[in-house]
Amino acid sequence: MTGRTGTHRGAGVLGEFDTTGLDLTWTLGEALAGRPEDADEVGEALWGLHPGDPRLVAFAVQLGPQLDVSRALEWAVRVRSAGHADRCPLVELAHDPRRPVADRLRAAALLAGPLRDERGREALRAAAMDADPDDFAQYLLELDVLGPALLPEFVAAASGERSRALAMADVLDDLGATEEARILREHES
């Protein structure tokens, strides 16, 4: 990712620092002990100097789930490119019940869609069950952009209980999906 000056994101963190004698493992460990956003900048700067270094890949596995979804995605692509899709930080983020439902749904949609990882569908269903009915409209609109093919799965998982199903039907009606709302109501009667 480049900034306005065309420099690599995070390059300012190291500035004119001589990295020749740098103990990369120690530096990454220290970065992980601090704020995730700061660690991200350090990691990004070091990635520009040592792209694909296995120590940076391991760093990404630990750091990625702590970041916002867009940064976790960037690190996830790097981890996957290094042959470690099984350690993808976006998967951990999508399955983390401590993260907001919106983050989990975004991560799940990116996994199931562009990354073609079935673990995204599992995470989507789990996040949908935790979704607050007051937020159904927001989630449906966002999923319509990120992964429209995931909408039926989200609706089914979020509508597990009768009260949630009826709330979902009302939201679907409001969004113009009257046929889907009708089917959901019929199923609940």
Residue 188 pLDDT grade (very low, low, confident, very high; cuts 50, 70, 90): confident
Beta carbons within 8 Å of 124's beta carbon, 6+ residues apart: 94, 105, 108, 109, 112, 150, 153, 154, 157
Q: Which helix (H) or strand (E) holds 56?
A: helix 54-63
Give the model confidence (pLDDT) of 135-157 as tens digits: 999 999 999 999 999 999 999 99
Question: Is the pTM value of this prediction over 0.95?
Answer: no
